[in-house]
Structure 1
Amino acid sequence: MFSSLWPITKYFPSPGGSNEFVHLYLGQCDSEGAGGIHGLESEGEDIRVTVWSFDDAMDAMKNGLIKNASTIIALQWLALNRAEIRGLWS
């Protein structure tokens, strides 16, 4: 459960090819015990959740291990705004 949500950005991931529009948010939550596979079995969901430190996530992005554009955009936003967010959350 998120205690707070902040909008990060909105964008078209494939302009001209699709009308899909993505909204990215930053959410504050207690991530203790968040890892594992989640989702509704009745809907065939298989959602793997992993919890990474900031440094590990940045290293993974830098080394090309993250292949999802939404995740890369969110991590780059976090890198630019981390000090401000930490101030809000302290």
Structure 2
Amino acid sequence: MDFITSYINQYGYIVLFLALMLELLALPLPGELLMGYAGVLAFQGHLSWVGSILVAGMGSMVGMTIAYGVGYKLGTPFFDKYGLVFRA
């Protein structure tokens, strides 16, 4: 988590967008904690409230769209065959 917070301090909105997008693609990233940290940075004046909310929403929507596209493209036969490998 320390490396993510240092990247957010350095790159701001880009890291927030990518982290929330990748979280929805089944990578174990702590999205809720990142949003809390973004709130702290917004309170301190390093990020804007509106910008953080918009970037987080866009990152989440892009991640959900990619996950849906992968599921739609691969379909049920893929997950029936390889589902045990991708089991949560």
Q: Shared fold (TM-score greater than 0.5)?
A: no
Larger fraction in helix: 2
More strand by share: 1
Higher relative contact order (CA 8 A, sep 6+): 2
